[in-house]
Chain A
Amino acid sequence: MPDAPGLELIAQEINAAHDGTVIETAHERGTATLIVDSERVLEALRWLRDTPEHEYRFLASVHAADYLPGEPRFGVHYELLNMPRVERVSVKALLADPASPSPATSSASPAGVSGGGSNGVGTLVLPEIDSCVELFPTADYQEREAYDFFGIRFRGHPDLRRILMPEDYVGWPLRRDFPIGGEPVLFTHNEAETPHWYE
Chain B
Amino acid sequence: MADEIKIPMAESGIDAGAEDPSLAVVERTAAEAAERAGTDEQVMTINMGPHHPATHGVLRLVVSLEGERVLDVRPIVGYVHTGIEKSCEDKSYWKVIPFVERMDYLSYFFQMEAFCGCVERLLELEVPDRARYLRVIHMELNRIHSHLVWLGTTALDLGAISMFWYCFRERDRILDLFEMSTGQRMHTRYFQVGGVFEDIPAGFAGKVRDFCEEMPERVDQYEALLDRNEIFLHRTKGVGIVPRERVLELGVTGPLLRAAGEPWDLRKVSDYLPYGDFDFQIPVGTVGDGYDRYRVRLQEIRESVRIIAQAIDGLPEGPFIADDRKVVLPPRDELGTSMEALIHHFKLVTEGFRVPPSELYNPIESPRGELGCFVVADGSAKPARVHFRDPSFVNLQLLPEMCRGGLIADLIQNLGMLDPILGGIDR
Query: In the complex, A touching B, CB below 8 Å?
Result: yes
Contact assessment for B21 and A164 in the assembled complex, using a CB-CB cutoff below 8 Å? no
A5 close to B (CB within 8 Å): no
A115 near B7: Cβ-Cβ < 8 Å: yes
Q: Which residues of A contact B385 (CB under 8 A)?
A: 65-66, 174
In the assembly, what is the distance between CA of A178 and CA of B89, in Å? 12
Does B202 make an interface contact (CB < 8 A)?
Answer: no
Main SS at interface, chain B = mixed
CB distance from A135 to the nearest CB of B (A): 10
Within 8 Å CB of A83, what residues of B? 262, 264
Q: Within 8 Å of chain B (Cβ to Cβ): is A19?
A: no
Contact A137 B249 (CB under 8 A): yes
Judged by a CB distance under 8 angstroms, whether B9 is at the interface is yes
A90 to B5, CA, bound (A): 33
B11 and A160 form a contact (CB under 8 A):
yes
Among A30, A140, A141, A174, the one with the most B-chain Cβ atoms within 10 Å of its Cβ is A141
Question: Do the beta carbons of A138 and B249 come within 8 Å of each other?
Answer: yes
Q: Which of A10-18, A36-44, A55-63, A183-191 contacts B (4 or more CB under 8 A)?
A: A55-63
- The answer to whether B376 has its CB under 8 Å from any CB of chain A is yes
Give the interface residue-count category, chain A: 35 or more
On chain A, the residues within 8 Å of B6 by CB distance are 117, 119, 121-122
Of B93-101, B108-116, B173-181, B390-398, which binds chain A? B390-398
Interface centre among B8, B387, B394 (most CB of A within 10 A): B8
Dominant SS among interface residues on chain A: loop
A170-B1 contact, Cβ under 8 Å, with A119-B6, A164-B77: yes
CB within 8 Å: A-B pair count: 141
Query: Which residues of B are found within 8 Å of A173, using beta-carbon distances?
Result: 83, 86
Q: Nearest Cβ in chain A — how far from B282, in angstroms?
A: 14
Is the pair A136, B3 in contact by a Cβ cutoff of 8 Å? Answer: no
- Give B1-41 as 1s and 0s: 1 = Cβ < 8 Å from A's Cβ atoms: 11111111111101010000110010000000000000000
Q: Flag A154-173 by CB within 8 Å of B: 1 or 0 each.
A: 00000111111111101101
Q: Does A180 contact B (CB under 8 A)?
A: yes
Chain A residues within 8 Å of B87, by CB: 180
Tell whether B426 is near chain A: CB-to-CB under 8 Å: yes
Judge whether B360 and A29 touch: CB under 8 Å. Answer: yes
Q: Knowing A29-B121, A65-B385, A79-B361 are in contact, say whether A136-B11 is a contact too (CB < 8 A).
A: no
Interface-central residue, B5, B248, B251, by most chain A CB under 10 Å: B251
Minimum CB distance partner of A137 in chain B: B249
Write the B88-132 contact mask toward A (1 if CB under 8 angstroms, else 0).
Answer: 011000000000000000000000000000000110100000000
- Using Cβ atoms and an 8 Å threshold, which residues of chain A touch B396? 141
Minimum CB–CB distance for B23 against chain A, Å: 10
Residue of A nearest to B264 (CB): A83
Q: Which 3 A-B pairs have the closest CB atoms?
A: A138-B251, A122-B3, A61-B389
Between A and B, 29 residue pairs with Cβ closer than 8 Å are: A29-B121, A29-B360, A30-B121, A60-B370, A61-B361, A61-B389, A63-B387, A65-B385, A77-B374, A79-B372, A83-B264, A86-B270, A88-B361, A90-B361, A117-B7, A117-B11, A119-B16, A121-B6, A121-B7, A122-B3, A124-B4, A138-B249, A138-B394, A142-B389, A162-B8, A164-B427, A167-B21, A167-B25, A173-B86
Q: A61-B389, A163-B78 are in contact. List 10 more A-B contacts (CB 8 A).
A: A59-B251, A60-B370, A61-B361, A65-B376, A117-B6, A117-B7, A121-B7, A138-B249, A166-B21, A173-B86
